[in-house]
Structure formats: C-alpha cells, structure tokens
Amino acid sequence: SQQPDTKSLAKQMHEAYLKHFHMNKAKARVFLTGKTSTPPFVIHDMDTLQHAEQKLITQLLGNMASGDVSTLREREVEARLFLFCQYASVATVTELTEFAKAVPGFAALDLNDQVTLLKYGVYEALFALLASCMNKDGLLVAHGGGFITREFLKSLRKPFSDMMEPKFQFAMRFNALELDDSDLALFVAAIICCGDRPGLSDVSQIERIQESIIHVLRLHLLSNHPDNTLLFPKLLQKLADLRQLVTEHAELVQDINKTEDASLHPLLQEIYRDMY
C-alpha cells in the first residue's frame, strides 16, 4: 500500500481526531479559561454535586437506561461518581474505536489484533486525552457543562479518593508539554498502534504502522514546536508513564469491583479482564 507522506498523515489524523472526539483540547481550554458565555457549573461539595446531578443528568447520562437512573438516586455519592466515570469512559472508548479505524492500515489488521490493540491502548489514550480537560484545580465534565474540583475528588472516601489524583499528577506533567490537538492526534494513534501488546499475531505489520506514525509524529513536532527540540523524546517517555498509570488504575478498579457494591459496565469488564 502507498505510504502517505508526513503532512498528509498528520492532517488525516488531526481531521479524524476532530471528527470522532466530541471534546478536544482547543474546546476544553475555552471552558477552562472562562471564555464561554455559560461557564461550567462548579462541583466542589455534596450540595453542588446534587444540584449538578439535577442540572446535568441528561447530559451526563443521556444514553443511560432509565432503570439505572432511578436506582442511581438511592446510591451513595461515591458509587454515583464511579458510575458517571464509567459512562464517560464507555463513550470515549467508542470514540477511540472510530478514531483507530481511521489510522491507515489499522482496519486491514486481523480482527483479533484490532481487539488486542484497543484492549490495551484505550485507557492509555483515554488518560492522555483526559489531561486536556484538566487543570491543577479540577476536571471539566459533561461536555463542558460541569467542573469537578480536584479537592472534592480527593475528599471522597477511600478507595474512591485514590481514583483521580494520579491522573491529575500525570496531567500536570503532560500539559506542561503544551501539545495541541494536531500533536495529540498522532500521539493517540501511536498509543493504539503499539507492537508490543500481549498476544498480537501480526507484530511486524503493526510495527510498520507504528513506525510510520512515530516517524510522522517526530517530524510534526519539529515543525509545530521548533523551539522545543526535546519534545519528541519527552513525549515517548510519557508512553511509559501512561502504561504505569493504567496498570495502577486497573488494579484499583478491580479492587473496587471486588470490595464495593459497584458493578462494572460490560465493555469495561471486557477491557479489564486478564489485562495485566
């Protein structure tokens, strides 16, 4: 197959990224810097959370079965927030799947390999994308309609209080690199097309796709950030950080699943099962 040149692959990935992800860094920054006519509703304690649930429930849980919504109201706040996180994750996994199909060569891979790449890649990609919705004080939620403070998330009871803080710490380091959406599109594609996931059958084909993305990423970063020549190696280091973040996250979720009365969405069960 014909190898697309650097600029066209970067452009293609950027367009697919803007098409498939409902939130992106440029949009999120508008909300986070207060440049919208309707600023996000700030959730910083139980009262504001309850108020937000009334206001945002249709946005947060637009696709949720009505039975789930009614039982949700009777559950404790930590369990409700855990469920919100799950639904947001499911939506992002769906978006990531569509984005992956737009990566040249991905859709032609063996279907089992596509599944494996998504299984291991989606949470790493999700946490890289989540950083766009974070600043040091909190996290943008519900398509920019709400902002949950970092302190409130830390104040939840254990183990739920341990859920988001490592993601904030990663996000602060990651956001310091000042990537834009065109950089992130290639970075997410590189996360997904990774030749060393367990159980892949056609490693060499995936490595060829990965090499081509990494090559384009390096050249794109040099032209998009000419003053930061170390950006590419710094970004490669983040791949290892993301893997560690996902390993710890998977352990925490499995722990919550065992010890708490919190069921896990079937799609997320598929991803976490026998992961690491």
Partner 1 sequence: LKEKHKILHRLLQNSSSPVDL
> Rule CB under 8 A: is residue 240 a binding residue for partner 1?
no
Q: Report which of 196, 111, 126 is spatially closest to residue 167, judged by C-alpha positions.
A: 126
Kindly indicate which of the ranges 97-105, 148-156, 175-183, 212-220 contains the residues binding partner 1, using the contact rule CB under 8 A. 97-105
Nearer to partner 1, 99 or 170 (CB): 99
Nearer to partner 1, 114 or 182 (CB): 114
Backbone angles phi, psi at 59, to 5 degrees: -70, -45
Query: 198 with 120: CB under 8 angstroms?
Result: yes
Backbone angles phi, psi at 138, to 5 degrees: 175, -170
Query: 56 with 41: CB under 8 angstroms?
Result: yes
What is the residue-wise DSSP string for 110-162? -HHHHHHHHHHHHHHHHHHHHGGGEETTEEEEGGGTEEEEHHHHHHSPTTGGG
Kindly tell me which residue out of 44, 87, 145, 254 binds partner 1, with binding defined by CB under 8 A.
87
Kindly indicate which of the ranges 11-19, 40-48, 153-161, 268-276 contains the residues binding partner 1, using the contact rule CB under 8 A. 268-276
Q: Draw the binding track, 246-265, toward partner 1 (x: CB under 8 A; -: no contact).
A: -------------------x
Residue 114: CB minimum distance to partner 1, A = 5
Residue with tokens 């993305």: 213
Residue 237: CB minimum distance to partner 1, A = 29
Q: Which amino acid is at 175?
A: N
What is each CA distance from 268 to 104, 128, 252, in whole angstroms? 26, 18, 13
Please, where are the H alpha helices in the chain? 6-20, 25-32, 46-60, 66-72, 77-101, 111-130, 150-155, 165-175, 181-192, 203-224, 231-259, 266-272
Nearer to partner 1, 87 or 232 (CB): 87
Nearer to partner 1, 34 or 266 (CB): 266
Q: Draw the binding track, 195-224, toward partner 1 (x: CB under 8 A; -: no contact).
A: ----x-------------------------
Kindly indicate which of the ranges 52-60, 109-117, 137-145, 230-238 contains the residues binding partner 1, using the contact rule CB under 8 A. 109-117
CA 13, 16, 19: angle at the middle one, nearest 5?
Answer: 150
Kindly indicate which of the ranges 76-84, 114-122, 125-133, 215-223 contains the residues binding partner 1, using the contact rule CB under 8 A. 114-122
Q: Which two tokens stand for residue 133?
A: 């919705």
Nearer to partner 1, 118 or 193 (CB): 118
> Rule CB under 8 A: is residue 119 a binding residue for partner 1?
yes
d(CA 200, CA 215): 22
> Rule CB under 8 A: is residue 12 a binding residue for partner 1?
no
Kindly tell me which residue out of 15, 45, 98, 178 binds partner 1, with binding defined by CB under 8 A.
98
User: Which residues make up the interface to partner 1 (CB under 8 A)?
Assistant: 63-65, 87, 90, 93-94, 97-98, 101, 111-112, 114-116, 118-119, 199, 265-267, 270-271, 273-274
